[in-house]
Structure 1
């Protein structure tokens, strides 16, 4: 929380600066308006300025010394009495700003008694004028300094309270997010992961049965190839789900080798796996991947991988038989460009029956989260996905 400049002017750290500013004003007053008439007055003025400078560090002792100097100056009939009164009053103000309690009461009492001693010859007849001077010289600085101190301390307490409230709100938000992540992780484990695990087991049984049947009958090798691919894909999906559940449950205590869906430096291999899997579905894929993507941070690396997966999956699903697709991932001036373009959209791409998926929504949310841009739609021939993930300079790992 930003502090007002007026409050900073009365901060304890800037006491010396305040004293120096006052000393500069008094030097100007002594040189321009009321010059000391002799060496004695110059000496008293110089002593007052030295005590003024000392007040920045030892304010209580400086106030006591200034009170004594004021008595001496008045006894000698010096013209610097008025200036020394101002110095003493400002020093008392500084003491009230910095401290409270006995030292402040003692300093104010000493200065008030100094005024009374200097006007002792006017007592008792001039009691009211003397009391008035005591209030002006000692009472007013005491009240103003105490007010500044109380106001400053109240503002400090208010800021500390606001910071505590902000911290508590942040902790509540983190706790709510943790509870939400735990709920999502539980649902993923109990529902999705359970069914995927069952699929893996059933496909494994089918592979075993097919292999056993192959010893007594002729088995189409394409069936075996499809079952092998399905088993591998389901197993990879189950591994990713388990990693995701681990990340959701304990994102801060997750082992990087387990919790990261894309290990550092493994993005190139992961993209190659995505391309190979798309080719196994019958899609002809041409891939051009910049080696610099291997240096991306984990968040952007995962975003690039998911964009490539979704784009090629859509091309395989909607591009039609014999469709061709191009995947390009480039790093240009610290900006990652991901492009997926297929040429079969114009003939066979039709809306799938039933509810629409969330792939496009998820891609947009992922790109928006990174401050990027995503364009998806029909091209001159086929369908095109184009994404940009900017501001990578500060997130790329140093090249070895």
Structure 2
């Protein structure tokens, strides 16, 4: 593929045109940098200064897109100008090329050009003065400083400020991006937390409602239907209370309801009683001491969700819950009868297992669930150190 050349900047074209016209005007008025009789003038033709002027002006459109090429050609034009009567516009245009070479050139050029022009200034001032034994030889170095060193130093200073501003802009953009990423992560984490709470709060009650409503519709027994409706009403009320509690958790404290306290392991008895009322034969074996609040809430929710799954999927009613504290870990184990191929009594999405696994992971613990022989086993190990919780 052919390489596409960058187009000159419009301002550079105006600079070239203005410099050329200005130089021609000064030439027409007879304004020169040196008299025609000057011993340095080797080319005495009246129109001779116009040639280096035209070459320097032609370099201006390249000052941004090819700064090094423009500077080299401009240097040749300046040397050419010194053997003619000279034009002040050629010198002025050359200082602009020197400035642009530092400002728009490569980083290497931006570092080297000021040093080179500085060395030329020193050499151009000291050597002539030493050879001629005349202090006026220092004026040559001063001229080099004005034509080359000053614009190069100015370009370096401007480039430094421009690079610093660009770096600050990039840092600000990166900071804004990191802040947005943190915000998205915080929102995602909060949505996951609310999803877990919502699922764990109401799934148990809704599963019981679905199972008992199915029983009430399938059995033509007024007594059984009445008992099922009583269980449905009890779970509906409990589910509504849980939803109100979740709404309280979501409020910012300015509403008309304060958030209720988080459930604790002391509430496992009531949870077991509710499971028994839903038809499960639950035994609870607990032996633990003081447990940090995050661990306590996670353990409660894991047991609650395990009972919900047992209500929907277990092959029989017998469920065993064990909680033991050993070696700085709260070990939770819930087992229920399992028979492959059984159809669930209520539909499920699998989000309950995901929520339990996330709760254990957030505390730095482990979680596993699956069949072991004729029993479905849910096991979680939660560290009791507060620092493990996120």
Q: TM-score range by the shorter chain?
A: 0.3 to 0.5
Tell me the TM-score normalised to structure 2 length.
Answer: 0.46
Structure showing greater Rg: 2
